[in-house]
Amino acid sequence: MSGKSRIKVACIQMTISDCNKQSNVEKALYMANDALSDGADILVFPEVFSTGFCYDEIETSSEDENGETIRQMCAFSKINKCVMVFSIIEKQAFSKGLKYYNLGVCVEDGHVVGTYRKTHPFKREKQYFSAGDSIIPVRLPKRKLTIGLQICYEIRFPEVARKLTLMGSDILITIAEFPSPRGHIWRSLAIARAIENQIPHIACNRVGEGSDSSFFGGSLIVDQLGDVMEEAGDDESVIFGTIDLEKITKIRNDIPVFDDRRTDIYYNL
Amino acid sequence: MSGKSRIKVACIQMTISDCNKQSNVEKALYMANDALSDGADILVFPEVFSTGFCYDEIETSSEDENGETIRQMCAFSKINKCVMVFSIIEKQAFSKGLKYYNLGVCVEDGHVVGTYRKTHPFKREKQYFSAGDSIIPVRLPKRKLTIGLQICYEIRFPEVARKLTLMGSDILITIAEFPSPRGHIWRSLAIARAIENQIPHIACNRVGEGSDSSFFGGSLIVDQLGDVMEEAGDDESVIFGTIDLEKITKIRNDIPVFDDRRTDIYYNL
């Protein structure tokens, strides 16, 4: 990090109509406008926000990096000079046939600056999605900022956020469709990931009813001390937080976790 | 694990008079009697419960494994056929001179069955204590049970509890002198360690005033789902929980975190 120290971030905690791409993207951009008018610079959307886990129509739900959803998000981000973080169902043609992924995408001022294929698909997801094969944060060239992006189930694995932090992330973002009734699991882990990595954490969840699950929302913006800056309820809403990156250095001096790690005895984790 | 499935555990959340060994041990055993009369089989005491961080009198505070404190604890455990988990200030003579450690001890039915030297001393502790060089859980031969013991600051490092769990721990125990005002840090991490490792967690803290810190207590007994079974306030007290080890298998089938870990991409953690 060597850009602006204070950054306003927003989580768009939205309902999603499964398999109804046009309606979801329209609503997402409508809510994004509200976030911008409140001064947010980084906008975060839930996991597979444009389609939900639309397995029945996966062929039409999925897109590649040049697909319509990413193009719409890039256009919005270019006009409004903002960062947008979300995931879509990705389709890629390989020599042995089609593969689908849960593709995390980070757009800065109109350009895709990084992607992350979910490395830990959960249960039924494995029937449809291939898993990504690396954990690497996304660097935003204009803002001189590094975002560590993880997806839903991965919040249960401390290894993922740790790896993202060790690789230089300034902010941790979790985008999710974390279902009811696991609200307290989500909340505890969202706060713990911030504390143990001494990093601000935007944990953005879906809300409302899906075709076979319901979602409690409960999105959080947590600071580098683990203090909750803002927390959503169980309704559609946008929550905000102002992240102060200089405070990361302070907490890491006070509680020198990263100096005190004993990598000599963590082998085979 | 292949012993009894349901086990009653107790955390002795006690005040400690720094450098006043006799008084601390007497009180600990007095409170231990209460815990036994309520049916507890595993009794957990705070970090360096017999002395506090008695640096000014470290020579007289410290003992080796044959010292008086461990002998008293073994005698009590033998009479009452119970498990006791605590730490003391250890003194060891090496060829190059004396070394001190924060030594975790696990006693079963009168015998020391395992020790663990704190591997992550915190700040001022480093001036006095050497660090242990391995993370290995303690196996209780009579109860066919494995305890993963970590000490205080180590609750901030997800690697420690993960390593202990991967090495077969049935129960995670954290003994601590976690100071005020960090109550919410302690609580969030105690719950998160249980959730992410799908393991019951006894997190036992000191309470009351020390020579240069105060301690909020807030000990917790958390089940393998992250649900708090019992939680102490900021007074001296004994809290209990009944751990059901068979439920660990159930949660690991429902949410197969340990099958889904991607050790191929966690290298260099």
Q: How confident is the model at residue A267 (pLDDT cuts 50, 70, 90)?
A: confident
Tell if the CB–CB gap between B196 and A266 is shorter than 8 Å. no
Task: Give the one of A123, A156, A226 whose C-beta lies nearest to B185's C-beta.
Answer: A226
Asked whether residue B138 carries a pLDDT value surpassing 60, the answer given is yes
Asked whether residue B3 carries a pLDDT value surpassing 80, the answer given is no
N-term to C-term CA, chain A: 28
Q: How confident is the model at residue A52 (pLDDT cuts 50, 70, 90)?
A: very high
By a Cβ cutoff of 8 Å, what residues of chain A touch chain B? 119-120, 122-123, 131, 133-135, 153, 156-159, 162-163, 166, 184-185, 188-189, 191-193, 195-196, 225-227, 255-257, 260-266, 268-269
Q: For residue A81, indicate whether it is catalytic.
A: no
DSSP state letter for B179: B
| CA A67, chain centre distance (Å) | 20
In terms of Cα–Cα distance, which of B112, B117, B204, B199 is closest to B164?
B199
Query: Tens digits of per-residue pLDDT, A67-96?
Result: 999 999 999 999 999 999 999 999 999 999
Can you give the length of chain B in residues?
Answer: 269
| pLDDT given for residue A268 in this prediction | 81
Burial of A95 (0-12, 13-18, 19+ CB in 10 A): exposed
> How many CB atoms neighbour CB B254 within 10 A?
11
Share of chain A above pLDDT 70, in %: 99
Q: Return the residue of A nearest to B136 by Cα.
A: A265
Catalytic residue, chosen from A19, A21, A47, A91, is A47
Report the gap between the CA of B235 and the closest CA in chain A (Å). Answer: 25
A15/A238 Cα distance (integer angstroms)? 12
Question: Are the C-beta atoms of residues A89 and A117 closer than 8 Å to each other?
Answer: no
Tell if the CB–CB gap between A120 and B262 is shorter than 8 Å. yes
| Residues of chain B contacting A192 with CB distance shorter than 8 Å | 158, 188-189, 191-193, 196
B20/B13 Cα distance (integer angstroms)? 17
Pairing of strands A145-151, A138-140: antiparallel
| CA A261, chain centre distance (Å) | 26
By a Cβ cutoff of 8 Å, what residues of chain B touch chain A? 119-120, 122-123, 131, 133-135, 153, 156-159, 162-163, 166, 184-185, 188-189, 191-193, 195-196, 225-227, 255-257, 260-266, 268-269
User: The dihedral of CA A107, A210, A93, B257: what is its sign?
Assistant: positive
Asked whether residue B1 carries a pLDDT value surpassing 80, the answer given is no
3-state secondary structure of A167: coil
Tell if the CB–CB gap between B269 and A263 is shorter than 8 Å. yes
Query: Reading across the β-sheet that carries A237-244, which strands appear in turn?
Result: A111-117, A97-108, A83-94, A42-44, A6-13, A237-244
Query: Tens digits of per-residue pLDDT, B24-45?
Result: 999 999 999 999 999 999 999 9
Cis peptide bond prior to B158, omega within 30° of 0: no
Token code pair at residue A116: 């992350």
Angle subtended at Cα A104 by Cα A99 and Cα A110, rounded to the nearest 5 degrees = 115
Asked whether residue A1 carries a pLDDT value surpassing 60, the answer given is no
φ, ψ dihedrals at A46, nearest 5°: -65, 170
Token code pair at residue A20: 């109804």
| Residues of chain A contacting B153 with CB distance shorter than 8 Å | 260
DSSP state letter for A123: T
* Whether CATH 3.60.110.10 fits B7-255: yes
Asked whether residue B12 carries a pLDDT value surpassing 60, the answer given is yes
In terms of Cα–Cα distance, which of A198, A175, A104, A147 is closest to A3?
A147
Q: How confident is the model at residue A3 (pLDDT cuts 50, 70, 90)?
A: low
In terms of Cα–Cα distance, which of B113, B198, B227, B141 is closest to A157?
B198
Tell if the CB–CB gap between B226 and A265 is shorter than 8 Å. no
Question: Are the C-beta atoms of residues A173 and A147 closer than 8 Å to each other?
Answer: yes
**Helical axes B183-197 vs A183-197, angle rounded to 10°:** 120
Share of chain B above pLDDT 70, in %: 99
Question: Are the C-beta atoms of residues B199 and B164 closer than 8 Å to each other?
Answer: no
Note the maximum CA span of chain A.
53
> How many CB atoms neighbour CB B188 within 10 A?
23
Across the A:B interface, residue pairs with CB atoms under 8 Å apart total 112
B229/B227 Cα distance (integer angstroms)? 6
Query: Tens digits of per-residue pLDDT, B222-254?
Result: 999 999 999 999 999 999 999 999 999 999 999
A77/A71 Cα distance (integer angstroms)? 10
Domain ranges across chain A: 8-260
B180/B137 Cα distance (integer angstroms)? 29
Burial of B208 (0-12, 13-18, 19+ CB in 10 A): middle
| Residues of chain A contacting B261 with CB distance shorter than 8 Å | 157, 159
Which helix (H) or strand (E) segment holds residue B103: the answer is strand B97-108
Task: Give the one of B153, B256, B269 whose C-beta lies nearest to A162's C-beta.
Answer: B269
Asked whether residue A269 carries a pLDDT value surpassing 90, the answer given is no
- The mean pLDDT of A19-47, rounded to a whole number, is 98
| Residues of chain A contacting B184 with CB distance shorter than 8 Å | 226-227
What residue type is B94 in one-letter code? F
- Whole-number mean pLDDT of chain A? 96
Asked whether residue B4 carries a pLDDT value surpassing 80, the answer given is no
Report the gap between the CA of B120 and the closest CA in chain A (Å). Answer: 7
Give the fold, CATH level 3, of A8-260. Answer: Nitrilase/N-carbamoyl-D-aminoacid amidohydrolase (3.60.110)
Tell if the CB–CB gap between B159 and A269 is shorter than 8 Å. yes
Which helix (H) or strand (E) segment holds residue A247: the answer is helix A246-254
Instruction: Give this complex's ipTM.
Output: 0.96
Question: Are the C-beta atoms of residues B237 and B45 closer than 8 Å to each other?
Answer: no
Query: Tens digits of per-residue pLDDT, B183-228?
Result: 999 999 999 999 999 999 999 999 999 998 999 999 999 999 999 9
Ramachandran sector of residue B139 (left: φ over 0; alpha: ψ -120 to 50; beta: rest): beta
- Whole-number mean pLDDT of chain B? 96
A177/B228 Cα distance (integer angstroms)? 25
| pLDDT given for residue B5 in this prediction | 84
Question: Are the C-beta atoms of residues B113 and B106 closer than 8 Å to each other?
Answer: yes
- The mean pLDDT of B110-123, rounded to a whole number, is 98
Beta-bridged to residue A20, according to DSSP, are none
Question: Are the C-beta atoms of residues A184 and A122 closer than 8 Å to each other?
Answer: no
| pLDDT given for residue B267 in this prediction | 81
In terms of Cα–Cα distance, which of B211, B199, B239, B244 is closest to B45?
B239
Q: Return the residue of B nearest to A131 by Cα.
A: B262
Query: Tens digits of per-residue pLDDT, B60-98?
Result: 999 999 999 999 999 999 999 999 999 999 999 999 999
Residues 6+ apart with CB under 8 A from B153: A260, B120, B121, B122
Asked whether residue A182 carries a pLDDT value surpassing 70, the answer given is yes
Q: For residue A118, indicate whether it is catalytic.
A: yes
CA distance readout (Å), B218 to A193, B29, B205 = 21, 21, 7
Asked whether residue A2 carries a pLDDT value surpassing 60, the answer given is no
Query: Which of B135, B160, B260 to mutate: most A Cβ within 10 Å?
Result: B260
